Structure 1
Amino acid sequence: MTRILITSALPYINGIKHLGTLAGSMLPADVYARFKRAQGLETLYICATDEHGTPTELAAAEAGVDPAAFCRQQHEVQADLGARFGLSWDHFGR
């Protein structure tokens, strides 16, 4: 059986979440995943937050928390937004 693995660009953890990330990356991947599932193919759609690098450290410092706590909090925000938009991720990791 054909197996399909799909991901989209990983959203940075820092900053305000915006529709450009959703419309330009996550939504097209979601539509493709739904299409492949409708064709009866084994499909796995994964995504995650990008928590690495200087932007994360700067955003955490600005928020007054350590990077690990900031990443946990922002991952929950991003996962909630995806759920509210009805994205069909099989897994949304970190």
Structure 2
Amino acid sequence: MSSRPSAQLRRKVVERADSRCEYCMIHQEDAVSTHQVDHVIAEKHGGKTALENLALSCMTCNLHDVQSSRGERPLVSGSRLKFHRTALQPADADLARALSA
């Protein structure tokens, strides 16, 4: 079961990201659909529903992440999403490793 971030937590993620996808940097105003707040490390892999483990993601990057986690072919063969969060100060080693991979 997934823990949905509270409205307050979602607002903090959007504010920190300046309404930009934290992967491709597209601004919400330039996107076709609404950006989503997504877990960086999935809950099924031990990720927490906390500000440090949440990212604002556009539909394209979120779809890429879902396909990759299911073992499906990514949108760009062999690509990995590059995480662009400058405000992040990872508190735990697992999160730091996941973001630098």
TM-score (norm 2): 0.25
Larger Rg: 1
| Higher RCO (Cα < 8 Å, 6 or more apart) | 1
* Bigger fraction of residues in strand: 1
* Bigger fraction of residues in helix: 1
TM-score (norm 1): 0.26
